[in-house]
Structure 1
């Protein structure tokens, strides 16, 4: 150290470092000290002087201007230092001081100064001790990808004089693992859980660095789909699907039904849901690091609709066939099926079967489909059963008009309607066709009814002269003239005789 003496000294004395040839001197342990903001700094110092001198005053100053004593202000009397500066030395050799709660304003060069009793000698140790004050800053990349190796560094603007032990914090919680070098934190194969606010500090000090956020990028995790309302979904309800996915950066969400895109965004809403919305829905969560899918199935409850009856066999139904009616119904849950002929209940279950069908089964059939949400009838289907003629008979016509001959009527039950042929007994060829036949002569007549499925003959019906007399009586009841009646009767009688 160089010493500055208040009174003139020989030139060679001023040039001596550490101590003078006369044993005057000040020695500092460190010429430069780097201290952490807010910490307490101890500056170690010793001083020497020739034997026979006594020290009158010792103090520290930060001014080196040569001049009067007032030009070397005592820091212990400075309001900015008086409460923080403590002299630890004595008036013999030790000139240590302690400065607490250091700030950036404390960055100066400091000097020890002492005064002796002989000739009021005053000495200042120069060069002094330069104090630098630093804070701490965490240095780390802004973004990293999950799986990368990351190194965080706790930096200071100068190299701390005292050997320091660094402490690391994440989200205000101390970290005790994965420390690399003293002022660095190594995160090998970084995880998404490592994201957060990081700070560093020195062991034994209250000062903590400003926080720096480490942002860890990662692909979407398995998405989760929630449905609202969470219970049973009934046709007509409004339903919301919500897709949640953990990712960084936040993922884009797309919705699909089957392979068709139906929407985007975290929420997919369906108002007045119907059976058409039944099926599997997927949400796709994607960001720059990857993509994931999740699926959910919508099961919409609804009353029966599209109730239809089908007939097997589907073609012509012939008497004696076996026939099956099938009721198809779209509903959820599946409906219960009931069968009706006209308004009469005839069976239940999706299938209604009739074996050896007959004309008695003809009529209108319908099914009713019902579940807890409602019911619906199908349109009616009509059985048209084909069968050959039966119950074939001949009768006289109930209506007789003046001038008519005797009219016979053939009755027949068949499907399709039968064609009618008339025969006179003991004659092979037909004498007429159609449902009615006019008999112009006496004899026994019958009809034959025939369709695609068979034929049947009636019993013979006799036509005699008495039948004509009955006709005459019938005409008389209408007050016809007696002469006209007799003439008509005689004419028809003569024609019958001739015919016989």
Structure 2
């Protein structure tokens, strides 16, 4: 910046000098009648200027002091600062001096002071102030992305001025959205975006000088967008009574306000953090958050996040469809829990993974093990483990298949002599154990698995039948055993006269038959 500190008096052609330099001071040396020093005073844009009088502070305060800018009153001992100068000026009563702050280009001009001392004559003085620099004015404050337009005007003193606008040190080029008018002094941006925030600088120049304004950054409201919901330690499934923390974020200026929704319905909670404490199954659902910008008046909702609350599995039991599983019949074993949601079921038999045979099938997501036709080999310990993503539990059931009797067998002699003890033992495969009944030639003679009798009659010979019976299965099965009683001649012990006569007759009959044969 070029400043002339001394120039000829006003009769000289000052306009000729203004064409030569930029910026330039127009100076007419003005005497302040002993009240103010010779001017002019020079200051920079945004700075502070103190108009100091040459008066010695009197013993008694001045009766009256007033400062004016041209014909406009600035401040006096009787009045406060006028609206244009409120907060920018301070009057020093003791000396009559004035301080002017936050200078703008329009503060350039002539200032006049009027002072009335105690019992003295009126004192008056004038002085000129020149403010130098460039200044950008903008005519919009609340800018909304895509909705607002902004005009920036560059103000500078001087002649033959050219204007160049810079955005972050890059030249602003005119386009469909960017307009340069008033010889380049005014920059207008239509439908601003967040990338139009600047900082903007106005570079002013002529053939002999140049200067650049202070940078100006625009405040542009945008968003919300990219709204994202995040669940801390996201698992999808949570045990009832757990605590869950959710957070919401968004790209927004100013910062967005957040609202929370469950299955599309608004909750009472607001803010970027949302906590579920001691969560219950009724709070399961799809959670989302909504961001709101109170400047742009725009909403955007995040993606939803499913939260499923599960009760802990407890009270697991295996229940048979009948308490009497009988071979050949069907039966179902159902694995269920008194509480909790069941996701999977795993069956084992005798502590090993269950291998399905042709007579087995699984139903209802493996919770029901069905036997179409039981075999005795299906007996064993069956265990079931049920689980969900947050818990598991197990139970077992011992199944004993009722079967038989089958494979009935009689053990004992086929021949026995008089006087000997006959012992016959009957056995069968059966669950539960069978009961046994003996018959001889169709007549029931005994009820036990072991039959014992001393042979005293030829009539003890015959067909001994053992019938085994399963009282639970209500099934029977039999076996027959032939026993022949033999007698040794001369041994008549226990044989009646009729018995002996019968034996003799039998022997004679045999001898006659032999004689007829040539003996």
Shorter-chain TM-score category? 0.3 to 0.5
TM-score, normalization: structure 1? 0.46
